Amino acid sequence: MYTWFFISILGLIAAVPLHFLSVEHLKLQKRYGREKGNKIGEIYGLISGWGFFFFWIGIWFSPQPRFTIPLFQNLSGFVPVVSFSIPLLHLIICAPFLIAGSWLAIKGVKETTLKVAETHRTETIVTKGVYSIARHPQYLGGLLAHAGISFLLSAGYSLLLTPLTVVLIYLISKKEEEELIKEFGKEYEDYKKKVPMLIPRLRSRPH
């Protein structure tokens, strides 16, 4: 019954090492030459990025136990959507997560371009807009959307897997930053000091 769910978990985890390879731009350039190395990195990036996204969606929509929040039972009416009913309380909870997550992800892609988001290779460091809030706004948006969609679909196992997705996103972000420091040096190190990785600061750091 849960075959697709477990395949999705394994696929999500398997995409991480490939993502690591995709951001090792200098190593790939050294091994294959600049042009060929960049091309190979872009291919790795496309496969790992879209693979991670595809299997993440698989976790959300795969068959699994559905949950309802026992608190406030009188608010737990159901909103019918096609042949699927969404608990009203879940809909209320998911809305801010989905709105914030979608906004961060879309703004992040627009400010770096879709090509950079797909291939994990950039020529410049973007520090404005949502990148002044968090160094990885697209990943933060993805995590927020994950929580929102898990509530929207009442997907119990998906919600329980949130810590795993946080760990995977952290590992990917850390690896990307290690490679960005190799490529951009002090410029990226200075950016790291000013902007948090994933969790925005409530107050700006004093200069």
Which residues 6+ apart lie within 8 Å of 142 measured at CB?
56, 101, 105, 169
Query: Containing H/E element for 79?
Result: strand 78-81
**Domains of the chain by residue range:** 3-194
- CATH topology for 3-194? Four Helix Bundle (Hemerythrin (Met), subunit A) (1.20.120)
Per-residue confidence of the chain (207 residues) as pLDDT tens digits?
Answer: 789 999 999 999 999 999 999 999 999 999 999 999 999 999 999 999 999 999 999 999 999 998 887 665 545 455 555 556 788 888 889 999 999 999 999 999 999 998 898 888 898 999 999 999 999 999 999 999 999 999 999 999 999 999 999 999 999 999 999 999 999 999 999 999 999 999 998 765 554
**Alpha helix positions (H), 33-185:** 34-61, 88-112, 114-119, 137-152, 156-160, 162-184
Q: Which long-range contacts (CB under 8 A, 24 or more apart) does 25-33 make?
A: 25/121, 25/179, 25/183, 26/179, 26/182, 26/183
Q: Are 131 and 111 in contact (CB under 8 A)?
A: yes
Say whether 80 sits in a helix, a strand or coil. strand
Angle CA 8–11–13, to nearest 5: 110
pTM to 2 decimals? Answer: 0.89
